[in-house]
Each structure stands twice: as C-alpha cells, then as structure tokens.
A = this chain, B = another copy of it.
Amino acid sequence: MDAVSYLSQAERHCAQRGCRLTELRRRVLELVLRHDGVVKAYQVLADLQRERGPAAPPTVYRALDFLVEQGLLHRVEALNGFIVCEHFECHHDGLFLVCQDCGRVLELDAAQGLSSLCAATAQLGFTIAPQNLVLTGTCKACLA
C-alpha cells in the first residue's frame, strides 16, 4: 500500500474509533512510513526536528504511543523500535522475523504460531495475552 492511501485509511480508522489523528500524530506516522522497516523513536525525533525545529522526546513518544494504541504501529520491544502495521483493520498479533545480517524485518500474522504455544502454556494454567513476537534469524537473501 502506498503512503497516501495508507494515511487516508488511517484517517478513516481513527475517525471510526472516535479519536483524533492530529497534525502531529499524522506527521509522525508519515515519518515512520517513510522508513523501510523498524524505526527508532529518536530517529523519528530527529526527523521531526529537521522539519519543525526544536522538539523533545515526549512529543514523539506520545504520538508513537497513540499510534500503537490505535493499532497503526507495532512497538517491537526487542528492538526498541516501531514499525508500521500493514493490516490495522483486523486485530492481530504480529510475528516479526528480524534478519541478523541485513536488519530487514518481515511481518507475519502470529496467530498460527501462537496457538501452538498457547496450547503448551494452557497446561500450566498460563493464559497468553495478545502480543507481538520477535524472532531473530537469517533471511533468504542473506543465507544465499
């Protein structure tokens, strides 16, 4: 999906949920979109500063948190980063495959993988919450 139609869908998504995709939040989302893969908060902050002058960390973190809440971004904890969610219309758990060599990130739906883990942990009485999973490894291109 190109950035423009992604943004307009995001706009509609927020409207439906009765929350405001403000100028700042939209701008932050665009900045994340512009990057391929995972972006760091401080990278976004730097980009934002280049555009609009002085800005402090909370400005960016608040916008990112909002976007994660709305399902537009994933927070990838293991990488201290954020990544655009490709399918924010349906709720889902993300499964991220991070290549150790090239750093590229693939996103899958984790439902399948998680269900088998769910079954295993259910025996212990442990209930798994919805969440993103990050697996590191080596991608096709880097293996070759």
CB neighbors of B among A61-120 (8 A): 77-78, 95, 97, 99-100, 106, 108, 112-113, 116-117, 120
Kindly state whether residue A59 has any CB partner on chain B within 8 Å. no
Contacts of A112 in B (CB 8 A): 120
* Chain B: minimal CB distance from A110 (Å): 9
Check if B113 sits within 8 Å of A129, measured CB to CB: no
Please give the count of copies of this chain that the complex contains. Answer: 2
Interface size class of A (residues with CB under 8 A): 20 to 34
Cβ contact within 8 Å between A124 and B106: yes
- Dominant secondary structure at the A interface: mixed
Name the CB-closest residue of B to A115. B116
Chain A window 39-78, contacts with chain B (Cβ cutoff 8 Å), 1 for yes, 0 for no: 0000000000000000000000000000000000000011
In the complex, are the beta carbons of B137 and A128 less than 8 A apart? yes
Contact partner of A121 among B77, B97, B125, CB < 8 A? B97
A residues whose Cβ falls under 8 Å from a Cβ of B? 77-78, 95, 97, 99-100, 106, 108, 112-113, 116-117, 120-121, 124-129, 131, 133-140, 143
